[in-house]
């Protein structure tokens, strides 16, 4: 019986060549292609996969599962890798891995394969996720071990084997896109001093070319789930995010330029676009702080965003640690209902208003007007006790 493998297949040059390469090595290849909101037409994928040698081609729309089960918990954790990157590409890997494992079981395949290289993070995320879900499956990563050095050799190989590849002018960038955002690397971006050329950006307009008038957008939340944009309800979170990408993208919001620490020890220069995600991060953070008491909010900020971002980035999605952190942020999210008003202008997003039925903001306590209900004398006694250690320190100093 032929060895059977489920291959994560994008339809690009690399994965098309992989289909044939695996077939040559004696594998029976079934391709798996997911719609995660990459904005590409996938109707031609099955024909393309078969023409490259696949025996079966699966195409599946998993946008909503991606948004609900992967993007939403990460938003609730306010996780940004190294304080900047909203983990767009990192988040799709565990979900795609879950699907590879599912179809491997369904089609009785002992192998899964992916097209990641040996110096990136994605190989780690794919393999750790697959092993966590089924330790008996073997993972093959042809790009790590095959003989091709240059792209031309792959094109040559493809031609020789009648693999359909579009002979387009080679784009200098490596791009990974889904509904949560776009990651762009390679080409001119490899010089960290050079400003990213405008053609590197895929879904945002440059702030210089953005409208001269600001646009206001109101995002509504119910129990920690974004449910509306400008009063319009969305039953699908994926649709809401795509709409916010449009709105914020046309104001140049969501561009990120950073040098980041990869898992394999390399620093790499990456740029990202995540207009919708960053609007949601701003909004969620603001509403969370409005409805959460100080002790809990400070604990959350010290312990969750950085840890969560690291575990997503480092391929540790399928761990009890992630589930436990989700339970924590899930508890806090129960109160995150209400609306946040944001202003988009020339590349910037700022919260300008918020309201919630669970708000802990008490105007009578906060006000400096005659309505003030705060006991000012209590402030005197509080300060005396709170400041006592400093008084003691001060005595030692003098
Ligand atoms: N550096 C980012 C990450 O590790 C993006 C990787 C995107 N992959 C790509 N093929 N461009 O999550």
- Same domain for 74 and 133, yes or no, is yes
Question: End of a domain among 160, 194, 225?
Answer: 160
324 falls within a domain: no
Measure the CA dihedral 147/153/158/161, to 10°. -70
Name all residues whose Cβ lies below 6 A of ligand 1: 89-90, 121-122, 174, 176, 183, 185, 270
List phi, psi (to 5°) of 201: -80, 140
322 falls within a domain: no
From ligand 1's centre to the CA of 153, what distance in Å? 24
Any catalytic annotation for residue 4? Answer: no
From ligand 1's centre to the CA of 190, what distance in Å? 14
Question: End of a domain among 160, 195, 218?
Answer: 160
317 falls within a domain: no
From ligand 1's centre to the CA of 28, what distance in Å? 29
Compute CA 286 distance to the chain's CA centroid, rounded to the nearest angstrom: 20
- Same domain for 261 and 204, yes or no, is yes
Question: End of a domain among 104, 126, 160?
Answer: 160
Arithmetic mean of pLDDT, 292-304? 98
66 falls within a domain: yes
Strand 111-113 relative to strand 56-61, pairing: unpaired
pTM of the model: 0.96
195 falls within a domain: yes
- Same domain for 148 and 8, yes or no, is yes
Any catalytic annotation for residue 24? Answer: no
For residue 75, give its domain range. 3-160
307 falls within a domain: no
- Same domain for 219 and 348, yes or no, is yes
Residues recorded for the chain = 398
- Same domain for 266 and 372, yes or no, is no
Q: Which of 68, 174, 285, 359 is catalytic?
A: 174
Strand order in the sheet with 255-261: 174-178, 181-185, 267-273, 255-261
pLDDT tens digits for range 349-393: 999 999 999 999 999 999 999 999 999 999 999 999 999 999 999
- Same domain for 200 and 53, yes or no, is no
Arithmetic mean of pLDDT, 203-207? 98
Residue 224's DSSP bridge partners are: none
Q: Give the other-Cβ count within 10 Å of 389's Cβ.
A: 9
- State the closest ligand 1 atom to the C-alpha of 185, by its place in the atom list counted from 1: 11
pLDDT of res. 185:
96
- Same domain for 146 and 205, yes or no, is no
Q: Which of 93, 125, 269, 322 is catalytic?
A: 93
Total domains in the fold of the chain: 3
Q: How far apart (Å, rounded) are the C-alpha atoms in residues 309 and 85?
A: 9
pLDDT tens digits for range 87-118: 999 999 999 999 999 999 999 999 999 999 99
Q: Which of 122, 176, 286, 326 is catalytic?
A: 122
Q: CA distances (Å), 341 to each of 211, 218, 275, 315, in order?
A: 19, 4, 16, 34
CATH number at residue 186: 3.90.1260.10
pLDDT tens digits for range 14-25: 999 999 999 999
Per-residue pLDDT band for 241 (boundaries 50, 70, 90) equals very high
- Same domain for 106 and 61, yes or no, is yes
- Same domain for 374 and 349, yes or no, is no
165 falls within a domain: no
pLDDT tens digits for range 127-185: 999 999 999 999 999 999 999 988 889 989 999 998 987 766 677 899 999 999 999 99
- Same domain for 227 and 261, yes or no, is yes
Q: Which of 14, 35, 176, 326 is catalytic?
A: 14
CATH number at residue 46: 3.40.50.620
- Same domain for 228 and 118, yes or no, is no
pLDDT tens digits for range 299-337: 999 999 999 999 999 999 999 999 999 999 999 999 999
From ligand 1's centre to the CA of 42, what distance in Å? 21
pLDDT tens digits for range 71-80: 999 999 999 9
297 falls within a domain: no
* DSSP helix/strand/coil, 360: coil
- Same domain for 148 and 288, yes or no, is no
Any catalytic annotation for residue 14? Answer: yes
């Amino acid at each position: 019986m032929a060895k059977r493998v489920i291959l994560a297949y994008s339809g690009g040059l690399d994965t098309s060549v992989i289909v044939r390469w695996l077939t040559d090595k004696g594998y029976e290849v079934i391709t798996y292609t997911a719609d995660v909101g990459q904005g590409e037409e996938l109707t031609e994928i099955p024909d393309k996969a078969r023409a490259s040698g696949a025996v079966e081609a699966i195409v599946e729309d998993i946008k909503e599962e991606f948004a609900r089960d992967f993007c939403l918990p990460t938003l609730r954790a306010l996780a940004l890798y190294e304080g900047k990157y909203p983990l767009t590409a990192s988040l799709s890997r565990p979900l795609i891995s879950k699907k590879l494992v599912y179809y491997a079981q369904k089609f009785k395949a002992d192998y899964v394969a992916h097209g990641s290289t040996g110096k990136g993070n994605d190989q780690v995320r794919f393999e750790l996720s697959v092993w966590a879900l089924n330790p008996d499956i073997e993972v093959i990563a042809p790009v790590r071990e095959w003989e091709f050095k240059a792209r031309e050799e792959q094109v040559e190989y493809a031609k020789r084997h009648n693999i359909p590849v579009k002979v387009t002018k080679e784009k200098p960038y490596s791009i990974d896109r889904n509904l949560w955002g776009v990651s762009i690397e390679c080409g001119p971006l490899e010089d960290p001093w050079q400003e990213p050329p405008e053609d590197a950006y895929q879904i945002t307009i440059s702030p210089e070319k953005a409208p001269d008038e600001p646009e206001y957008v109101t995002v509504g939340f119910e129990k920690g789930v974004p449910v509306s944009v400008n009063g319009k309800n969305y039953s699908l979170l994926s649709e809401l995010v795509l709409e916010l990408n449009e709105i914020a993208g046309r104001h140049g919001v969501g561009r990120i330029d950073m040098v980041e620490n990869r898992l394999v020890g390399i620093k790499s220069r990456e740029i990202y676009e995540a207009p919708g995600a960053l609007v949601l991060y701003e909004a969620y953070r603001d509403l969370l702080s409005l409805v959460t008491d100080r002790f809990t909010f400070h604990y959350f900020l010290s312990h969750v965003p950085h840890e969560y971002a690291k575990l997503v980035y480092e391929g540790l999605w399928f761990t009890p640690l992630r589930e436990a952190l989700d339970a924590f942020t899930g508890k806090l999210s129960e109160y995150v209902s209400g609306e946040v008003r944001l202003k988009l202008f020339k590349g910037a997003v700022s919260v300008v208003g918020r309201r919630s039925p669970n708000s802990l903001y008490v105007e009578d306590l906060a006000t400096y007007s005659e309505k003030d209900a705060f006991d000012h004398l209590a402030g005197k006694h509080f300060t005396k006790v709170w400041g006592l250690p400093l008084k003691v320190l001060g005595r030692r100093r003098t």
